[in-house]
């Protein structure tokens, strides 16, 4: 079972910790606010009130065995930087840190953060892109110029196989998964729909109406594919 430490129980930290715990992970949550700690005590494996700027207190927890550390502190720059640095020094394999600005991001990178996220900005980008195109069901920036996008299969590709569509050669994007609704019989005997995900679809996979393609590639290439 993977072990996570989440530092900061604000909205972002609580969301990360709750999702990890709900998926069966061991989660240690740290925050200086007693009320926040008490609110999360029954959700995570362990919740501890602790000021991460107190290096001795942080060091006493022996966090080196954690698989991932999430520094979810956005407003307190000193605490964010110190927590990121200490987690790396203690041997945490992967440290994910929340940044509030580009200068903040640069400092976090220098002190060892493996992954730096901008939750508010990224959610704004995802929402805007979904509003701009009804075909896009989700949009995630991976790195500069590259994105992972869920997009409804273009009408002219319905009935074609992945090989026949030749999407990679024509548009420079890769189809990494296909999401589709399939009929199923519910416990009450009624017919319903369940979502299934075909990961790394084979070349013979046939696109059906209503399929959602999960594609990855350069933003400009994805936009070209979306417009065909």
Which tops the pLDDT comparison, 52 or 186? 52
The domain spans of the chain are 3-117, 122-227
pLDDT at 85 over 60: yes
pLDDT in tens, 38-63: 999 999 999 999 998 888 888 889 89
pLDDT at 192 over 70: no
Share above pLDDT 90 across residues of the chain, in percent, rounded to a whole number: 39
Beta pairing partners, 150? 138, 214
**Which of 51-65, 152-166, 180-194: highest mean pLDDT?**
152-166
How far, in Å, CA of 170 to CA of 36, rounded?
Answer: 51
- Sheet harboring 26-31: ordered strands across? 46-49, 26-31, 3-7, 68-71, 94-98, 115-117
Choices 3.30.565.10, 3.90.870.10, 3.40.50.300, 3.40.50.720: CATH for 3-117: 3.40.50.720
pLDDT at 6 over 70: yes
pLDDT at 5 over 90: yes
| Nearest by Cα to 135 from 206, 220, 215, 198 | 215
pLDDT for the residue 147: 79
State the SS3 of 50-112. CCCCCHHHHHCCCHHHCCEEEECCCCCHHHHHHHHHHHHHCCCCEEEEECCCHHHHHHHHHCC
Which tops the pLDDT comparison, 214 or 30? 30
Is the pTM higher than 0.85? The answer reads: no
Question: Residues near 90 by Cβ (< 8 Å), separated by ≥ 6?
Answer: 59, 62, 63, 64
Going by pLDDT thresholds of 50, 70 and 90, the confidence category of residue 186 is: low
pLDDT for the residue 165: 93
Going by pLDDT thresholds of 50, 70 and 90, the confidence category of residue 36 is: very high
CATH topology for 122-227? Alpha-Beta Plaits (3.30.70)
pLDDT for the residue 143: 58
């Amino acid at each position: 079972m993977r072990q996570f430490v989440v530092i900061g129980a604000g909205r972002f930290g609580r969301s990360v910790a709750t999702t990890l715990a709900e998926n069966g992970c061991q989660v240690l949550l740290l925050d200086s606010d007693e009320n926040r700690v008490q609110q999360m005590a029954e959700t995570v494996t362990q919740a501890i009130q602790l000021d991460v700027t107190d290096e001795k207190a942080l060091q006493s927890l022996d966090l080196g065995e954690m698989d991932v550390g999430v520094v979810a502190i956005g407003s307190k720059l000193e605490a964010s930087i110190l927590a990121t640095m200490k987690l790396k020094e203690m041997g945490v394999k992967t440290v994910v840190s929340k940044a509030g600005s580009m200068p903040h991001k640069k400092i976090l990178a220098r002190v060892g953060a493996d992954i730096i996220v901008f939750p508010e900005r990224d959610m704004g980008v995802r929402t805007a892109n979904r509003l701009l195109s009804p075909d896009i069901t989700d949009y995630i920036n991976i790195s500069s110029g590259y994105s992972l996008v869920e997009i409804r299969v273009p009408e002219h590709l319905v009935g074609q196989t992945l090989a026949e569509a030749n999407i990679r050669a024509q548009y420079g994007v890769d189809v990494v998964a296909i999401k589709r609704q399939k009929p199923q019989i519910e416990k009450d005997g009624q017919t319903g729909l369940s979502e299934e995900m075909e990961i790394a679809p084979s070349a013979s996979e046939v696109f059906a109406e209503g399929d959602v393609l999960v594609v990855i590639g350069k933003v400009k290439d994805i936009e070209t594919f979306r417009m065909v």
